[in-house]
Structure 1
Amino acid sequence: MIFSVWIPLLVPFLAVPAARRLAEALPPRPAGWLLATAATGLAVCSTAALGLIALAGALRLPFVASLGHLTAPLDALPAWLALPAAATAAGLVALSAAAVVRTVRRHLAELRLARAQLGSATAELAVLRDPDPDAYALPGRPGRIVVTTGMLRALQPAEREALFAHERAHLVGRHHLFLVAAELAGHCHPSLRSLRAPLAFALERSADEYAAAAVGDRGLAARAIGRAALASRAAASRPRMALAATAGPVPRRVAALLDRHPAARSARSRGARLIGAVLVSCLCVSAASAIEAAADLHGGIEIAQGETGR
């Protein structure tokens, strides 16, 4: 455990740049899954490592050791390092847990408030009487596509259908869960925070492609997204869990829609395969190291407990 427990804490610094590079080389949908999976997996492994460090140090305290029926010193970590490392790890886990709970509560409160403002209607499309152009996908049961009268006036009928298809893609794909997972992962390890922006871009690109397929015209989808972005303003009342077609680097998204097969060409590159191998290796090493550290700690506890019978 002395060495393996630190690996899950260091691996994200290598895996995150690899994940971002690979996401740029993949089509939008697999890129979204890749980034969300990498963020969640690395967060779980790093949090588990902190928990093991905290437990190893706590078991050196007489009261905790008595609860575990330990009579011999636990040598999972050196004596000079065990207690300071455990105190630091416990503090980090507590801060992460508090941030996770606070974030979840904030998102749920914003979601309840937004749905309350829409009333009891259950139709997929909800139109708000607001002159400011805005549109977004509001998750829930059922999911709602929220659009203001200002946005309806800013777009042509065919462009509205493309915009609605984009927001529908967010609801069908449950993209808000991807973003929430990445945000919570960022609370567990600081390097994982940088995955949220590329993940949001991949999700918007995935919805763009869905809209283009739904209306059968990539140019129309690009025009609808561009005009909606030019017309809209940042909405303070929009929940953070809500995804909008006007979010992110819109010029890059429009350019991608007007280019017929950019993702397919880049996904075949040798660089993408190499980076993918690096990322998978990072995830496997992180998980294996966390498991090995847990096994070592368990073995050390058993050895310490076995001294009681002598």
Structure 2
Amino acid sequence: MDLDQYVPLVAPVSAALAARPLAWRLPPRAATWLLTAGAAIMGLATVCCLVLLTSGGLLHISWIAALADMAPGELPRSPETNVPMATVAGVLLVVSLAMATRAALVQVRGLRSSARAARNLPGRDVVAIVEDDQVDAYALPGRPGRVVVSTGMLELLTPIEQGALLAHERSHLSARHHLFRGVTAVAVAANPLLWPLRDAVVFSTERWADEFAARTIGDRTHLARAIGKASLAGPSGRLAEGAGGMSIIGGTRRPRLRRDPRPGPVPRRVMALMRPRRVRRSAIFLALLTIAVPTFTATQQVGEAAQELHGQVEFAQEQAPTR
């Protein structure tokens, strides 16, 4: 049995296993682009693979074969035209498209809600200060986008830490981090094997904003302190992702029932600020091995499967009696 045709369905496994290390080892901007592009291409390859598998099985149905000007029963038996596999692929295709469509709609609704909230905020400045004792700060994508900061957050931070906070949130808007997160969310919905990439992209975009803020204020220590203070005092359940508000404490989660020895997103961000890491060749090799190569292979296999199915259809059409 030829297993090459199933490569696009399982290729995301390597990306999923390497998502967290890559988000940590690569420069955040490069990691964001790499993980988002890999997720988008692999998600699309998954859908294309399922479409081909489903189509090959449907062509065995006599009336569909007639619509394609094929001779009934002349389509060669092959992995591309396996009827049982086509049935399974058809079910998976419907589920994948439904989940991806739902995720896309969620992102669109989130963007519209964010833009509406940004327009309704008082004032015209990019930064909107709201009277609220709760420690909170986040970016609202829109036209234009707005940065929302609570008075509780401002009271918690020193002036230089406030500058770091605002630079961080402005970076989310200027770099359009919500688009990276939204694309990844749709890709993960299309192929759930990609799910670790979603958290990895959230982390890498937060790191991207951290590095921008650190360069803006010229002080990594004060930014690290601001992140730590906001994380300890802010809402514990906030996870900024997709099209919603992106917070300086984005990436925090509710405590898990089991003990996880690995540090969470916020400690890793603080660690990266206090101890900048050099990009090593091993990180680049890991990126090529787990993202670039599987992505290229999955795309190539989809193309080869499409060519093979096309050739079989042409053969069956040639066997059809002339009218």
Shift, 1:250, TM fit:
1.2
Map of 1:289 onto structure 2: 301
Could you state the TM-score of these two structures normalised by the residue count of structure 2?
Answer: 0.86
Q: Contact 2:139–2:148 (CA<8 Å) still a contact in 1? A: yes
Map of 1:272 onto structure 2: 283
Q: Contact 2:71–2:321 (CA<8 Å) still a contact in 1? A: no
Map of 2:258 onto structure 1: none
Q: Contact 1:39–1:192 (CA<8 Å) still a contact in 2? A: yes
Measured against aligned partners, the alpha-carbon deviations of 1:219-268 in whole angstroms (never above 9, x if no partner) come to 11111111122221157798852211112221211121111x31x2xx22
Of the candidates 222, 231, 234, which is equivalent to residue 232 of structure 1? 234
Instruction: Give matches, 1:44-59, under 5 Å.
Output: 44-59=44-59
Shift, 1:169, TM fit:
0.9
Map of 1:244 onto structure 2: 247
Normalized per residue, the structure richer in helix is 1
Instruction: Give matches, 1:130-169, under 5 Å.
Output: 130-169=132-171
Map of 2:270 onto structure 1: 254
208-217 vs 100-109, which moves further: 100-109
Shift, 1:171, TM fit:
1.0
Of the candidates 191, 195, 198, which is equivalent to residue 189 of structure 1? 191
147-156 vs 295-304, which moves further: 147-156
Shift, 1:287, TM fit:
0.9
89-98 vs 113-122, which moves further: 113-122
Amino acid at match of 1:166: H
Q: Distance in 2 between matches of 1:308 and 1:273?
A: 53
Map of 1:300 onto structure 2: 312
Q: Distance in 1 between matches of 2:241 and 2:185?
A: 15
Shift, 1:164, TM fit:
0.7
Q: Contact 1:212–1:218 (CA<8 Å) still a contact in 2? A: yes
Shift, 1:116, TM fit:
3.4
Amino acid at match of 1:274: F
SS at the partner of 1:272? helix
Q: Distance in 2 between matches of 1:240 and 1:295?
A: 36
Shift, 1:186, TM fit:
1.1
Measured against aligned partners, the alpha-carbon deviations of 1:88-118 in whole angstroms (never above 9, x if no partner) come to 2122222122222222222333443344344
Structure 2 unaligned regions, length at least 5:
252-264
Q: Distance in 2 between matches of 1:237 and 1:203?
A: 13
Of the candidates 171, 174, 177, which is equivalent to residue 175 of structure 1? 177
SS at the partner of 2:138? strand
Amino acid at match of 2:217: V
Task: Give the RMSD, CA atoms, in angstroms.
Answer: 2.4
Q: Distance in 2 between matches of 1:203 and 1:193?
A: 16
Q: Contact 2:25–2:283 (CA<8 Å) still a contact in 1? A: yes
SS at the partner of 1:146? strand
Number of aligned positions between the proteins: 304
Amino acid at match of 1:291: G
Note if 1:201 corresponds to 2:223: no
SS at the partner of 1:36? helix
Q: Distance in 1 between matches of 2:21 and 2:117?
A: 40
Where relative contact order (Cα < 8 A, 6+ residues apart) is larger, the structure is: 1
Q: Distance in 2 between matches of 1:110 and 1:197?
A: 18
Percentage identity across aligned positions? 38
Q: Distance in 2 between matches of 1:277 and 1:237?
A: 29
Could you state the TM-score of these two structures normalised by the residue count of structure 1?
Answer: 0.89
SS at the partner of 2:185? helix
Amino acid at match of 2:36: A
Note if 1:60 corresponds to 2:75: no
Structure 2 CA distance for partners of 1:257 and 1:61, relative to 1, 3 Å: same
Structure 2 CA distance for partners of 1:7 and 1:84, relative to 1, 3 Å: same
17-26 vs 90-99, which moves further: 17-26
Shift, 1:78, TM fit:
5.3
Q: Distance in 1 between matches of 2:44 and 2:6?
A: 14
SS at the partner of 1:145? strand
Q: Distance in 2 between matches of 1:217 and 1:307?
A: 74
Q: Distance in 2 between matches of 1:214 and 1:76?
A: 63
Structure 2 CA distance for partners of 1:66 and 1:2, relative to 1, 3 Å: farther
Note if 1:104 corresponds to 2:115: no
